[in-house]
Structure 1
Amino acid sequence: MTIHTAVQPQATGVFATLYAQVQQFYAHQMQLLDLGECERWAATFTEDATFDVPTLPEPVVGRAALATATSRTAAQLAANGTRHRHFVGMFDVAEQPDGTVGVRSYAIVYASQIGGESQVHRVCVCDDVLVRVSGGLQVATRRVTRDDLA
């Protein structure tokens, strides 16, 4: 994704609205994930979405597979007495000629042991392609890279 340094003056109001929509989308999506609302979180992706993360041997494809994978992780975290909180920001938002929205963001994942300490678990970069749907946005593709991996 290209990092943009300026917004066209004539598009400022439209861009500001899109940027606010993107921020709200990620705030809602990450809270669903952190609350273990796996089916609702998966519904923020397109039916055939791809989710490529370095902790899995291959990308996860489709809502059902996303819900299954996150449900498994949520169960493991609960069994270990651990909570994750995803803080996503530094959004670089770019409308694409095909109507999609490219978003590059930074994500910091905190791990908190219930009754214990909290610490930074991972620092990541997310490259997403969002599509407009009735009522909002959905992720069509997400590629996550981690700062601690080569």
Structure 2
Amino acid sequence: MTTTDTARDLHGEVVHFLARQTHLMDGRDFEGFAATFTEDGEFSHTPGQLAATRAGIVAELVEFHRRFDDDPVVRRHWFNMVVLDPGEGGSWRATYYAYTVNTRPGGDQRIGPSCLVTDVLVRVGDELLTRSRHVRQDRLHFD
């Protein structure tokens, strides 16, 4: 297998992994989503907020999504333009663009903030896991 084949295989694996994570998040399976992180994983998706450990990630997501309890909305996350770069100790840095689309009754859709996401991905055994995810909203570039 050539280096190009290996890179292509890894890219496909990462894109599939991100899709699985996204389905878990959008389905509000926060425990399943957190299980795709290392035990000591970090997740920062709101400015000034950082959740650490799987249990901390679940708690953060439950609290964050309470704002939608009385709001009939379907939220979908869209990840694209994934770039992979080798990191330290065999890890990989995945950098990609993200949007959130919110759909409410009547078919009204709103695009949430556009974001740049940076993940550190690692292998634990045969499993790909996220060690850290940092989401930066593009609007913050102007602050």
TM-score by length of 2: 0.90
- Aligned with residue 99 of structure 1, among 68, 72, 90: 90
The separation in 2 between residues aligned to 1:130 and 1:106, in whole angstroms, is 16
Q: Residues 47-101 of structure 1, C-alpha deviation per residue, up to 9 Å, x if partnerless? A: 111112343x331111101111112233432421112100001000122251001
- The gaps in structure 2 that reach 5 residues or longer are none
Aligned to 1:90: 81
- Aligned with residue 14 of structure 1, among 6, 9, 21: 6
Instruction: Give identity over the alignment, percent.
Output: 28
- Aligned with residue 103 of structure 2, among 94, 108, 112: 112
1:16 positional shift: 1.0
Conservation of the 8 A alpha-carbon contact between 1:105 and 1:126: yes
Indicate the SS of the match to 1:106. strand
Aligned to 2:44: 52
Indicate the SS of the match to 1:81. coil
TM-score by length of 1: 0.86
Indicate the SS of the match to 2:78. strand
The separation in 1 between residues aligned to 2:67 and 2:126, in whole angstroms, is 33
1:1-150 equivalences in 2 (<5 Å): 10-55=2-47, 57-149=48-140, 150=143
- The gaps in structure 1 that reach 5 residues or longer are 1-8
- Residue type matched to 1:120 in 2? I
Conservation of the 8 A alpha-carbon contact between 1:48 and 1:63: yes
Aligned to 1:5: none
The separation in 1 between residues aligned to 2:65 and 2:45, in whole angstroms, is 16
The separation in 1 between residues aligned to 2:100 and 2:126, in whole angstroms, is 28
- What is the alpha-carbon root mean square deviation over aligned residues? 1.7
1:35 positional shift: 0.5
